[in-house]
Amino acid sequence: MLNIIIFGAPGSGKGTQSENLIKKYNLAHISTGDVLRAEMKNGTELGKLAEGYISKGQLVPDDVVIEMLANVLDTKTDVSGVVFDGFPRTIAQSEALEKILEKRGEKISVVVNLEVEEPELIDRLIKRGQQSGRSDDNLETIKSRLDVYKSQTSPLKEHYEKSGKLATIKGLGTIDEIFTLISEAVDKVK
Ligand code: B4P
């Protein structure tokens, strides 16, 4: 089983590179952001709750996201591995993921950490907001997402560095150039 966490600030290219990973390695893809946006679109209770956090650039509470992730993962049977895109985002989520995988007799293979500087992140997200109309891709919300990333998510890097799973990759350049570097990191643990 190849279980890959794709990790990075908002706009670092997690979603983009996840698409490449699932194609090349034939993996299932779980993007907690995509799952939450689908719930919002369908107007479910979870979607309504998530909307309040996402529109402010805040994280959806851990217990809600952890339960959601566990349920989605249960539907991914008969797969050769999973790309976890945007999960975990807090220490509590990373501990929960380890327990969930342990129950399945699995573990994280590698954590791909995409590093991109802040002005470039802001540029990319503003551009996407203009095209997609995503409600959280506006300057004010982008700034809070970046603050939340720094305070709550980036501490996870140290956690995965200690376990020897972190592969840090410069996320600047063309999508193909970056994917070549990601593939090299994945091939080492395959
Ligand atoms: P996500 O959907 O995960 O949004 P994101 O972090 O902003 O990253 P995204 O995947 O969309 O963007 P990417 O880096 O691919 O989360 C949205 C919200 O949901 C969160 O803020 C939070 O509220 C909530 N949420 C999600 N997961 C949660 C969790 N686990 N716990 C609690 N709350 C959670 O960037 C892509 C952009 O960059 C694209 O426009 C792309 O075209 C561009 N790009 C990519 N590579 C490029 C390159 N090489 N050069 C130029 N542009 C590039």
Secondary structure of 130-153 in HEC code, one letter for each residue: HHHCCCCCCHHHHHHHHHHHHHHH
pTM of the entire structure? 0.97
Print pLDDT tens along the chain (190 aa): 999 999 999 999 999 999 999 999 999 999 999 999 999 999 999 999 999 999 999 999 999 999 999 999 999 999 999 999 999 999 999 999 999 999 999 999 999 999 999 999 999 999 999 999 898 999 999 999 999 999 999 999 999 999 999 999 999 999 999 999 999 999 999 9
Number of domain units in the chain: 1
Specify whether 89 is catalytic: yes
Specify whether 37 is catalytic: no
Contacts of 53 (CB under 8 A, 6+ apart): 59, 60, 61
Q: Tally Cβ neighbours within 10 Å of residue 132.
A: 9
How is residue 49 written in tokens?
């709750």
Give the CATH number of the domain where residue 153 resides.
3.40.50.300
Please give the Cα distance from 128 to 150 (Å, whole number): 21
**Position in ligand 1 atom list of the atom nearest CA 36:** 19
pLDDT of 119 reads: 98
Q: Which of 181, 159, 47, 164 is nearest to 114 (CA)?
A: 181
Specify whether 128 is catalytic: yes
Task: Please tell me which residue in 145, 165, 188, 190 is annotated as part of the active site.
Answer: 145
CA 99 to centroid of ligand 1, rounded, Å? 25
Evaluate: CB of 87 within 6 angstroms of ligand 1.
Answer: yes
Please give the Cα distance from 178 to 168 (Å, whole number): 11
Evaluate: CB of 17 within 6 angstroms of ligand 1.
Answer: no
Rg (CA), the chain: 16
For 143, the domain range is: 2-187
